[in-house]
Amino acid sequence: MAGVPSPALATLSHERSWREGWIYERKLDGQRVLAVRDGSGARLYSRSGRDVTAAFPEVAEALAAQEAPEFVVDGEVVAFEGSRTSFARLQPRIHLSDPERARRTGVAVWFYVFDVLEIGERDLRGEPLLERKRALRGLLTWRRPLRSTPHRVRGGEDWFAEVCRRGWEGLIAKRADAAYPSGRTDAWLKFKCEAGQELVVVGWSEPTGSRVALGALLLGYHDGDDLVYAGKVGTGFSERVLRDLHERLTDLEVPTSPCTRGALPGSGRRRGGVHWARPVLVAEVAFTEWTSAGQLRHPRFLGLRHDKPAGDVVREAR
């Protein structure tokens, strides 16, 4: 068998479509893993090519015990919080290099397999996705911690709303006739479940690289008498919006942070490329969830709100 292939990477899409000829899988919140089984056993690799076998020894053992002597499969190692996959729950295991320490964490893991790249001397990467899935079904014995990843051939907004209510991360849409790509591809699309939240703009960061006007908006919300820092948002802007926001915020600049709680990115007027602003602007932001540190995960700027006073902005329950 050849070396470790480069995994296919889905492209994030904020425009969902439910077309014929596509399939839809649950988006899992875990560690992407390519698993290689050969005559020496099974090894697990992250999407960057790092060997993570020691972090998930029970997965490697289950793959090494399979009847097929050689194969390469693609999937996601996950841990659960209730019915939801949780990257935070998986964290204690991800960087461990001692299999026994990994087991002693007490964090149970599962390997959801969704694709097969090679079986023995047969390279399946040029075959259509549905053909690869048929080959995968008969390849492995599906016992703990191995699980097959189910898919649907039809999607829809009602179903998407339902899976988001269940606490799923979202869906992965894949073109059914596509070969297995290497790297980022528009034949695999990510549809993320997002929450909406109004937040107060408390400052901004300076741009880097080719970015114009500002890098990100710094955000907060009111909790009683406190203004709590909630993180930053750096996506969702057009160049025109960036310039407009910078012009507005420059007129509102203040020398110190208006926040009274939260882990701030810096203090003072310009420390670390951070500027603070009088908290009067309200931004509408989409995001996937609140982190355990009380900040936004995967935020995306939607626009400014002009119909709500900044003083009324609080953290909303989801």
Q: Decide: residue 271, CB within 10 A, 0-12 exposed, 13-18 middle, 19+ buried.
A: exposed
CB 116 within 8 A of CB 37: no
27 carries an active-site annotation? yes
**SS3 at position 103:** helix
> Structure tokens of 224?
């009683």
Which helix (DSSP H) or strand (DSSP E) does residue 245 occupy?
A: helix 239-250
Distance separating alpha carbons of residues 280 and 250, to the nearest angstrom = 13
CB 190 within 8 A of CB 300: no
CB 239 within 8 A of CB 271: no
> Structure tokens of 190?
């990510």
Say which of 27, 133, 174, 232 is annotated catalytic.
27
Residue type, 91: Q
- Where do we find the tokens 């991800």? 94
> Structure tokens of 277?
């602003």
Q: List residues with catalytic annotation.
A: 27
